[in-house]
Structure 1
């Protein structure tokens, strides 16, 4: 069943963000994923200091977990952490 990874982020370094995005995209595709949307976020309820939202779609929860745990993606985490503060949430069947 389809699963989604929702990312709420605050960009700290635009250059690092470009570097991270360029590296992360191919890792998502390699695990059967795709970017559903990305751009400014608008909070409808609750509280969040994040201003950017990305939603990734994967063929299954396991595919999403495999992507996140992959050596290729894990190698990008230092760049990600320099680029942004973020929350990653897995949802779907």
Structure 2
């Protein structure tokens, strides 16, 4: 089971992307727990995640999130994939970064 965390400002548009990623995971037969959190919650602790994906609107926070994440990879979501809500592409990118 892969644990993927999407981080953004408030979590509204990112939660739509999470739903599309979850649908893609089912279609791709990938076991994944995917959730979205606002940046303020993520800064309190990342928990047991395998990768952190940053919404394009907060990609400037990458270095700060990496400090919190330690060895957990932190990856900004491609602006085009985010804008088109391409859950499958975002999931594929995350899995590739995790070495899957």
TM-score > 0.5 by shorter chain: no
Structure with the largest fraction of strand: 1
Q: Which structure is larger by alpha-carbon Rg, 1 or 2?
A: 1
TM-score of the pair, normalised by structure 1: 0.38
Instruction: Identify, as 1 or 2, the structure richer in helix.
Output: 2
Greater relative contact order structure (CA < 8 Å, 6+ sep): 1
